[in-house]
Structure 1
Protein backbone atom coordinates (compact mmCIF):
# COMPACT_ATOMS: atom_id res chain seq x y z
CA UNK A 1 0.00 0.00 0.00
CA UNK A 2 1.29 3.47 -0.93
CA UNK A 3 1.85 5.60 2.19
CA UNK A 4 3.56 8.67 0.75
CA UNK A 5 2.33 12.04 -0.38
CA UNK A 6 -0.32 11.16 -2.97
CA UNK A 7 -0.86 14.78 -3.98
CA UNK A 8 2.86 15.29 -4.49
CA UNK A 9 3.12 12.16 -6.64
CA UNK A 10 0.14 13.22 -8.75
CA UNK A 11 1.70 16.63 -9.30
CA UNK A 12 4.92 14.93 -10.40
CA UNK A 13 2.91 13.28 -13.16
CA UNK A 14 0.47 16.07 -14.01
CA UNK A 15 2.77 19.07 -14.23
CA UNK A 16 5.39 17.65 -16.63
CA UNK A 17 2.63 16.05 -18.69
CA UNK A 18 0.77 19.35 -18.96
CA UNK A 19 3.88 21.37 -19.85
CA UNK A 20 5.05 18.87 -22.47
CA UNK A 21 1.55 18.52 -23.94
CA UNK A 22 1.30 22.30 -24.21
CA UNK A 23 4.50 22.21 -26.28
CA UNK A 24 3.20 19.29 -28.38
CA UNK A 25 6.02 17.09 -27.12
CA UNK A 26 3.68 14.13 -27.00
CA UNK A 27 6.31 11.38 -26.96
CA UNK A 28 7.78 12.84 -23.78
CA UNK A 29 4.39 13.73 -22.29
CA UNK A 30 3.23 10.13 -22.52
CA UNK A 31 6.03 9.09 -20.17
CA UNK A 32 4.08 10.90 -17.47
CA UNK A 33 0.51 10.45 -18.72
CA UNK A 34 0.43 6.65 -18.73
CA UNK A 35 1.93 5.97 -15.26
CA UNK A 36 -0.06 8.90 -13.91
CA UNK A 37 -3.27 7.32 -15.12
CA UNK A 38 -2.38 4.04 -13.43
CA UNK A 39 -1.52 5.80 -10.17
CA UNK A 40 -4.73 7.84 -10.13
CA UNK A 41 -6.93 4.92 -11.15
CA UNK A 42 -5.58 2.69 -8.40
CA UNK A 43 -6.24 5.34 -5.75
CA UNK A 44 -9.53 6.73 -6.98
CA UNK A 45 -8.15 10.23 -7.61
CA UNK A 46 -10.98 11.22 -9.93
CA UNK A 47 -10.09 14.84 -10.66
CA UNK A 48 -6.52 14.10 -11.70
CA UNK A 49 -7.62 10.96 -13.52
CA UNK A 50 -10.02 13.06 -15.60
CA UNK A 51 -7.34 15.58 -16.56
CA UNK A 52 -4.81 12.91 -17.51
CA UNK A 53 -7.46 11.02 -19.49
CA UNK A 54 -8.05 14.11 -21.63
CA UNK A 55 -4.31 14.38 -22.26
CA UNK A 56 -4.21 10.68 -23.17
CA UNK A 57 -6.94 11.20 -25.78
CA UNK A 58 -5.13 14.23 -27.22
CA UNK A 59 -1.86 12.29 -27.34
CA UNK A 60 -3.55 9.40 -29.14
CA UNK A 61 -4.93 11.73 -31.79
CA UNK A 62 -1.59 13.52 -32.26
CA UNK A 63 0.40 10.28 -32.48
CA UNK A 64 -1.95 8.67 -35.01
CA UNK A 65 -3.52 6.11 -32.67
CA UNK A 66 -7.00 7.06 -33.78
CA UNK A 67 -8.74 3.98 -32.36
CA UNK A 68 -7.31 4.73 -28.92
CA UNK A 69 -8.13 8.42 -29.22
CA UNK A 70 -11.74 7.74 -30.22
CA UNK A 71 -12.19 5.13 -27.49
CA UNK A 72 -10.79 7.44 -24.80
CA UNK A 73 -12.86 10.36 -26.08
CA UNK A 74 -15.94 8.14 -25.92
CA UNK A 75 -15.14 7.33 -22.28
CA UNK A 76 -14.90 11.05 -21.48
CA UNK A 77 -18.32 11.62 -23.04
CA UNK A 78 -19.87 9.14 -20.59
CA UNK A 79 -18.92 11.37 -17.66
CA UNK A 80 -21.56 13.64 -16.15
CA UNK A 81 -21.75 16.82 -18.23
CA UNK A 82 -21.96 18.98 -15.12
CA UNK A 83 -18.56 20.43 -14.26
CA UNK A 84 -16.72 18.74 -17.14
CA UNK A 85 -17.15 21.31 -19.92
CA UNK A 86 -13.49 21.50 -21.03
CA UNK A 87 -12.94 17.71 -21.14
CA UNK A 88 -16.23 17.30 -23.00
CA UNK A 89 -15.33 19.92 -25.61
CA UNK A 90 -11.93 18.27 -26.15
CA UNK A 91 -13.49 14.81 -26.42
CA UNK A 92 -16.11 15.97 -28.94
CA UNK A 93 -13.45 17.65 -31.08
CA UNK A 94 -11.16 14.60 -30.95
CA UNK A 95 -13.96 12.22 -31.93
CA UNK A 96 -15.08 14.57 -34.70
CA UNK A 97 -11.57 14.80 -36.12
CA UNK A 98 -11.11 11.04 -36.10
CA UNK A 99 -14.40 10.58 -37.98
CA UNK A 100 -13.61 13.36 -40.46
CA UNK A 101 -10.13 11.99 -41.18
CA UNK A 102 -11.57 8.53 -41.79
CA UNK A 103 -14.33 9.85 -44.03
CA UNK A 104 -17.00 8.69 -41.59
CA UNK A 105 -20.28 10.58 -41.07
CA UNK A 106 -21.45 12.35 -37.94
CA UNK A 107 -18.57 14.70 -37.22
CA UNK A 108 -20.42 17.96 -37.84
CA UNK A 109 -23.00 17.38 -35.05
CA UNK A 110 -20.12 16.67 -32.66
CA UNK A 111 -18.48 20.00 -33.52
CA UNK A 112 -21.83 21.76 -33.20
CA UNK A 113 -22.28 20.28 -29.73
CA UNK A 114 -18.78 21.37 -28.74
CA UNK A 115 -19.55 24.90 -29.95
CA UNK A 116 -22.81 24.92 -27.99
CA UNK A 117 -21.00 23.96 -24.78
CA UNK A 118 -18.31 26.57 -25.43
CA UNK A 119 -20.94 29.30 -25.75
CA UNK A 120 -22.02 28.71 -22.17
CA UNK A 121 -18.48 29.22 -20.87
CA UNK A 122 -16.55 30.90 -23.70
CA UNK A 123 -12.76 30.76 -23.82
CA UNK A 124 -10.31 31.70 -26.55
CA UNK A 125 -8.78 28.23 -26.38
CA UNK A 126 -12.10 26.47 -27.03
CA UNK A 127 -13.00 28.83 -29.89
CA UNK A 128 -9.65 28.27 -31.60
CA UNK A 129 -9.76 24.51 -31.04
CA UNK A 130 -13.21 24.19 -32.58
CA UNK A 131 -12.41 26.62 -35.40
CA UNK A 132 -9.33 24.65 -36.42
CA UNK A 133 -11.28 21.38 -36.34
CA UNK A 134 -14.01 22.90 -38.52
CA UNK A 135 -11.38 24.18 -40.97
CA UNK A 136 -9.78 20.74 -41.23
CA UNK A 137 -13.17 19.11 -41.77
CA UNK A 138 -13.96 21.64 -44.51
CA UNK A 139 -10.64 20.87 -46.24
CA UNK A 140 -11.28 17.13 -46.02
CA UNK A 141 -14.68 17.72 -47.60
CA UNK A 142 -12.97 19.48 -50.50
CA UNK A 143 -14.50 22.83 -49.62
CA UNK A 144 -13.15 25.99 -51.29
CA UNK A 145 -10.61 28.20 -49.57
CA UNK A 146 -13.29 30.75 -48.68
CA UNK A 147 -15.11 28.16 -46.57
CA UNK A 148 -11.92 27.19 -44.73
CA UNK A 149 -11.21 30.85 -44.10
CA UNK A 150 -14.72 31.40 -42.78
CA UNK A 151 -14.31 28.57 -40.28
CA UNK A 152 -11.10 30.05 -38.89
CA UNK A 153 -12.55 33.56 -38.85
CA UNK A 154 -15.31 32.32 -36.55
CA UNK A 155 -12.65 31.37 -34.02
CA UNK A 156 -11.91 35.03 -33.34
CA UNK A 157 -8.57 36.64 -32.55
CA UNK A 158 -5.61 34.49 -31.50
CA UNK A 159 -5.57 35.91 -27.99
CA UNK A 160 -2.88 35.71 -25.29
CA UNK A 161 0.33 33.72 -25.36
CA UNK A 162 -1.04 30.86 -23.25
CA UNK A 163 -3.08 29.72 -26.27
CA UNK A 164 -0.36 30.27 -28.86
CA UNK A 165 -0.43 26.66 -30.07
CA UNK A 166 -4.15 26.82 -30.71
CA UNK A 167 -3.64 30.18 -32.41
CA UNK A 168 -0.80 28.69 -34.46
CA UNK A 169 -3.00 25.95 -35.88
CA UNK A 170 -5.71 28.47 -36.72
CA UNK A 171 -3.22 30.73 -38.48
CA UNK A 172 -1.79 27.75 -40.36
CA UNK A 173 -5.24 26.94 -41.74
CA UNK A 174 -5.67 30.56 -42.82
CA UNK A 175 -2.32 30.35 -44.60
CA UNK A 176 -3.32 27.08 -46.27
CA UNK A 177 -6.49 28.77 -47.50
CA UNK A 178 -4.41 31.57 -49.04
CA UNK A 179 -5.60 34.16 -46.53
CA UNK A 180 -3.66 36.76 -44.59
CA UNK A 181 -2.48 35.26 -41.33
CA UNK A 182 -0.52 38.18 -39.94
CA UNK A 183 3.02 38.10 -38.58
CA UNK A 184 4.03 34.48 -37.82
CA UNK A 185 7.09 35.47 -35.76
CA UNK A 186 5.47 34.65 -32.42
CA UNK A 187 3.84 31.41 -33.52
CA UNK A 188 5.17 28.00 -32.42
CA UNK A 189 8.00 26.69 -34.58
CA UNK A 190 6.24 24.19 -36.86
CA UNK A 191 3.50 26.65 -37.81
CA UNK A 192 5.99 29.47 -38.24
CA UNK A 193 8.11 27.29 -40.52
CA UNK A 194 5.16 26.25 -42.63
CA UNK A 195 3.77 29.76 -42.99
CA UNK A 196 7.17 31.18 -43.97
CA UNK A 197 7.59 28.56 -46.70
CA UNK A 198 9.68 25.86 -45.01
CA UNK A 199 7.25 22.96 -45.29
CA UNK A 200 10.09 20.42 -45.04
CA UNK A 201 11.26 21.98 -41.79
CA UNK A 202 7.74 21.93 -40.40
CA UNK A 203 7.23 18.31 -41.44
CA UNK A 204 10.54 17.27 -39.88
CA UNK A 205 9.59 19.02 -36.63
CA UNK A 206 6.34 17.05 -36.43
CA UNK A 207 7.88 13.79 -37.55
CA UNK A 208 10.59 13.93 -34.89
CA UNK A 209 7.81 14.06 -32.31
CA UNK A 210 5.88 11.14 -33.70
CA UNK A 211 3.12 13.23 -35.28
CA UNK A 212 3.05 11.82 -38.82
CA UNK A 213 -0.39 13.23 -39.71
CA UNK A 214 0.63 16.82 -38.94
CA UNK A 215 3.89 16.28 -40.83
CA UNK A 216 1.99 15.01 -43.87
CA UNK A 217 -0.48 17.88 -43.64
CA UNK A 218 2.31 20.47 -43.71
CA UNK A 219 3.77 18.89 -46.82
CA UNK A 220 0.51 18.24 -48.64
CA UNK A 221 -0.82 21.76 -48.20
CA UNK A 222 2.41 23.72 -48.65
CA UNK A 223 2.47 23.30 -52.41
CA UNK A 224 -0.31 21.30 -54.07
CA UNK A 225 1.71 21.17 -57.29
CA UNK A 226 4.83 19.75 -55.62
CA UNK A 227 4.58 16.07 -56.50
CA UNK A 228 7.63 15.13 -54.44
CA UNK A 229 6.12 16.76 -51.34
CA UNK A 230 2.79 15.05 -51.97
CA UNK A 231 4.52 11.68 -52.37
CA UNK A 232 6.38 12.15 -49.10
CA UNK A 233 3.13 13.15 -47.38
CA UNK A 234 1.50 9.97 -48.66
CA UNK A 235 4.43 7.87 -47.46
CA UNK A 236 4.15 9.43 -43.98
CA UNK A 237 0.47 8.55 -43.80
Structure 2
Protein backbone atom coordinates (compact mmCIF):
# COMPACT_ATOMS: atom_id res chain seq x y z
CA UNK A 1 0.00 0.00 0.00
CA UNK A 2 1.42 3.37 -0.99
CA UNK A 3 -0.72 6.07 0.61
CA UNK A 4 1.88 8.86 0.40
CA UNK A 5 0.94 9.92 3.92
CA UNK A 6 -2.74 10.15 3.11
CA UNK A 7 -5.61 9.72 5.55
CA UNK A 8 -6.40 6.12 6.52
CA UNK A 9 -10.00 5.24 5.67
CA UNK A 10 -9.88 1.52 6.53
CA UNK A 11 -7.66 0.37 9.40
CA UNK A 12 -4.97 -2.20 8.79
CA UNK A 13 -6.31 -5.75 9.02
CA UNK A 14 -4.08 -8.84 9.13
CA UNK A 15 -4.89 -12.38 8.10
CA UNK A 16 -2.78 -15.49 8.08
CA UNK A 17 -0.60 -14.48 5.17
CA UNK A 18 -2.09 -11.16 4.15
CA UNK A 19 -2.53 -7.56 5.33
CA UNK A 20 -4.98 -5.07 3.93
CA UNK A 21 -5.71 -1.39 4.57
CA UNK A 22 -7.04 1.56 2.58
CA UNK A 23 -5.99 5.20 2.56
CA UNK A 24 -6.48 8.26 0.40
CA UNK A 25 -3.22 9.15 -1.31
CA UNK A 26 -1.96 12.49 -0.03
CA UNK A 27 -1.73 13.84 -3.58
CA UNK A 28 -5.44 13.23 -4.11
CA UNK A 29 -6.88 14.88 -1.01
CA UNK A 30 -9.11 17.64 -2.34
CA UNK A 31 -8.53 21.05 -0.79
CA UNK A 32 -11.08 23.81 -0.73
CA UNK A 33 -10.58 26.82 -2.96
CA UNK A 34 -12.30 30.18 -3.39
CA UNK A 35 -12.23 31.98 -6.73
CA UNK A 36 -13.30 35.62 -6.72
CA UNK A 37 -14.66 36.18 -10.23
CA UNK A 38 -15.52 39.40 -12.03
CA UNK A 39 -18.88 39.04 -13.77
CA UNK A 40 -18.29 42.00 -16.08
CA UNK A 41 -21.00 44.56 -16.86
CA UNK A 42 -23.89 42.09 -16.78
CA UNK A 43 -23.95 40.41 -20.19
CA UNK A 44 -23.08 36.69 -19.81
CA UNK A 45 -21.23 36.89 -23.15
CA UNK A 46 -18.77 39.37 -21.60
CA UNK A 47 -17.62 37.06 -18.80
CA UNK A 48 -14.00 36.08 -19.47
CA UNK A 49 -13.13 32.59 -20.73
CA UNK A 50 -11.47 31.82 -17.40
CA UNK A 51 -14.39 33.28 -15.46
CA UNK A 52 -16.85 31.04 -17.27
CA UNK A 53 -14.63 28.04 -16.67
CA UNK A 54 -14.59 28.82 -12.96
CA UNK A 55 -18.39 29.11 -12.93
CA UNK A 56 -18.75 25.78 -14.71
CA UNK A 57 -16.49 24.12 -12.15
CA UNK A 58 -17.97 25.61 -8.99
CA UNK A 59 -19.75 23.61 -6.29
CA UNK A 60 -21.05 26.88 -4.83
CA UNK A 61 -21.65 30.15 -6.68
CA UNK A 62 -22.37 33.03 -4.32
CA UNK A 63 -23.25 35.98 -6.52
CA UNK A 64 -23.99 39.63 -5.77
CA UNK A 65 -27.66 39.39 -6.68
CA UNK A 66 -28.37 43.10 -6.41
CA UNK A 67 -25.84 43.80 -9.18
CA UNK A 68 -25.17 40.58 -11.10
CA UNK A 69 -27.98 39.10 -13.25
CA UNK A 70 -28.86 35.51 -12.37
CA UNK A 71 -28.37 34.64 -16.06
CA UNK A 72 -24.59 34.99 -15.62
CA UNK A 73 -24.73 31.80 -13.52
CA UNK A 74 -26.71 29.76 -16.07
CA UNK A 75 -23.55 27.83 -16.97
CA UNK A 76 -23.34 26.28 -13.48
CA UNK A 77 -22.94 22.51 -13.49
CA UNK A 78 -25.85 20.25 -12.44
CA UNK A 79 -26.02 19.96 -8.67
CA UNK A 80 -24.13 23.18 -7.98
CA UNK A 81 -25.54 25.51 -5.33
CA UNK A 82 -26.28 28.97 -6.77
CA UNK A 83 -27.20 31.59 -4.20
CA UNK A 84 -27.63 35.35 -4.13
CA UNK A 85 -25.81 37.27 -1.42
CA UNK A 86 -28.09 40.31 -1.71
CA UNK A 87 -29.84 39.67 1.61
CA UNK A 88 -26.80 38.34 3.47
CA UNK A 89 -24.51 40.20 5.84
CA UNK A 90 -20.77 39.85 5.29
CA UNK A 91 -20.49 37.39 8.18
CA UNK A 92 -23.20 35.19 6.65
CA UNK A 93 -21.50 35.24 3.26
CA UNK A 94 -18.20 34.18 4.77
CA UNK A 95 -19.86 31.44 6.82
CA UNK A 96 -21.47 29.93 3.71
CA UNK A 97 -18.22 30.02 1.74
CA UNK A 98 -16.27 28.54 4.65
CA UNK A 99 -18.77 25.68 5.00
CA UNK A 100 -18.12 24.60 1.42
CA UNK A 101 -14.41 25.36 1.60
CA UNK A 102 -13.95 23.17 4.68
CA UNK A 103 -15.57 20.30 2.80
CA UNK A 104 -12.98 20.60 0.04
CA UNK A 105 -15.36 22.26 -2.40
CA UNK A 106 -14.70 24.79 -5.14
CA UNK A 107 -16.35 28.13 -4.36
CA UNK A 108 -16.94 31.06 -6.72
CA UNK A 109 -17.66 34.46 -5.22
CA UNK A 110 -19.14 36.35 -8.16
CA UNK A 111 -18.87 40.14 -8.11
CA UNK A 112 -20.02 42.72 -10.65
CA UNK A 113 -17.57 44.29 -13.12
CA UNK A 114 -13.98 43.83 -12.05
CA UNK A 115 -13.88 42.85 -8.37
CA UNK A 116 -10.78 44.96 -7.72
CA UNK A 117 -12.55 48.20 -8.71
CA UNK A 118 -15.13 49.50 -6.23
CA UNK A 119 -15.77 45.94 -5.11
CA UNK A 120 -16.33 44.67 -1.60
CA UNK A 121 -13.65 42.02 -1.58
CA UNK A 122 -11.01 43.45 0.77
CA UNK A 123 -12.79 42.39 3.97
CA UNK A 124 -13.36 38.94 2.52
CA UNK A 125 -9.70 38.60 1.56
CA UNK A 126 -8.65 39.75 5.03
CA UNK A 127 -10.70 36.89 6.49
CA UNK A 128 -9.28 34.36 4.02
CA UNK A 129 -5.73 35.50 4.82
CA UNK A 130 -6.28 35.29 8.58
CA UNK A 131 -7.55 31.74 8.31
CA UNK A 132 -5.09 30.51 5.70
CA UNK A 133 -7.78 29.90 3.08
CA UNK A 134 -6.72 29.47 -0.54
CA UNK A 135 -8.17 32.01 -2.98
CA UNK A 136 -7.50 33.67 -6.32
CA UNK A 137 -8.99 36.56 -8.31
CA UNK A 138 -10.25 36.28 -11.89
CA UNK A 139 -10.61 39.83 -13.28
CA UNK A 140 -13.63 41.03 -15.21
CA UNK A 141 -14.51 43.74 -17.70
CA UNK A 142 -15.24 46.96 -15.83
CA UNK A 143 -18.03 49.43 -16.58
CA UNK A 144 -15.68 52.02 -18.10
CA UNK A 145 -14.48 49.49 -20.68
CA UNK A 146 -18.00 48.35 -21.53
CA UNK A 147 -19.11 51.99 -21.81
CA UNK A 148 -16.30 52.81 -24.25
CA UNK A 149 -17.30 49.87 -26.44
CA UNK A 150 -21.01 50.74 -26.32
CA UNK A 151 -20.28 54.38 -27.17
CA UNK A 152 -17.80 53.37 -29.89
CA UNK A 153 -15.40 55.75 -28.23
CA UNK A 154 -11.67 55.75 -27.55
CA UNK A 155 -10.73 57.12 -24.16
CA UNK A 156 -7.10 57.91 -25.04
CA UNK A 157 -6.52 60.17 -28.03
CA UNK A 158 -3.00 61.07 -29.24
CA UNK A 159 -2.07 64.69 -28.46
CA UNK A 160 -5.36 65.20 -26.59
CA UNK A 161 -5.37 62.87 -23.60
CA UNK A 162 -3.27 59.89 -22.59
CA UNK A 163 -4.61 59.52 -19.07
CA UNK A 164 -7.77 57.91 -17.69
CA UNK A 165 -8.95 58.67 -14.16
CA UNK A 166 -11.33 56.21 -12.49
CA UNK A 167 -13.07 57.83 -9.55
CA UNK A 168 -16.42 58.52 -7.90
CA UNK A 169 -18.39 61.46 -6.59
CA UNK A 170 -18.47 62.14 -2.89
CA UNK A 171 -21.61 60.64 -1.40
CA UNK A 172 -21.92 58.46 1.67
CA UNK A 173 -18.30 57.40 1.22
CA UNK A 174 -16.02 60.38 1.98
CA UNK A 175 -13.31 61.24 -0.54
CA UNK A 176 -9.73 61.97 0.53
CA UNK A 177 -9.05 65.70 0.47
CA UNK A 178 -6.53 65.31 -2.36
CA UNK A 179 -9.04 63.40 -4.52
CA UNK A 180 -11.90 65.88 -4.72
CA UNK A 181 -13.38 65.87 -8.22
CA UNK A 182 -12.50 69.48 -9.00
CA UNK A 183 -8.86 68.77 -8.11
CA UNK A 184 -8.69 65.67 -10.31
CA UNK A 185 -10.39 67.63 -13.10
CA UNK A 186 -7.47 70.06 -13.33
CA UNK A 187 -5.63 67.59 -15.57
CA UNK A 188 -8.58 67.58 -18.02
CA UNK A 189 -7.94 63.89 -18.56
CA UNK A 190 -10.61 61.39 -19.54
CA UNK A 191 -12.56 60.81 -16.33
CA UNK A 192 -14.78 57.80 -15.65
CA UNK A 193 -17.04 58.40 -12.67
CA UNK A 194 -18.56 55.47 -10.80
CA UNK A 195 -21.35 55.16 -8.24
CA UNK A 196 -22.62 58.70 -8.69
CA UNK A 197 -25.98 58.53 -10.46
CA UNK A 198 -27.79 59.89 -7.39
CA UNK A 199 -25.48 62.90 -7.06
CA UNK A 200 -25.00 63.73 -10.72
CA UNK A 201 -25.76 67.45 -10.26
CA UNK A 202 -23.07 67.77 -7.59
CA UNK A 203 -20.64 65.94 -9.85
CA UNK A 204 -21.43 68.26 -12.75
CA UNK A 205 -20.92 71.33 -10.57
CA UNK A 206 -17.46 70.17 -9.50
CA UNK A 207 -16.37 69.21 -12.99
CA UNK A 208 -17.44 72.54 -14.49
CA UNK A 209 -14.91 74.25 -12.24
CA UNK A 210 -12.18 72.91 -14.56
CA UNK A 211 -13.68 71.35 -17.69
CA UNK A 212 -15.16 73.53 -20.49
CA UNK A 213 -18.94 73.39 -20.69
CA UNK A 214 -18.72 71.77 -24.14
CA UNK A 215 -16.66 68.81 -22.90
CA UNK A 216 -18.06 65.59 -24.46
CA UNK A 217 -19.90 63.36 -21.98
Structure-2-length-normalised TM-score: 0.28
Higher helix share goes to which structure?
1
Structure-1-length-normalised TM-score: 0.27
Higher Cα Rg, which structure: 2
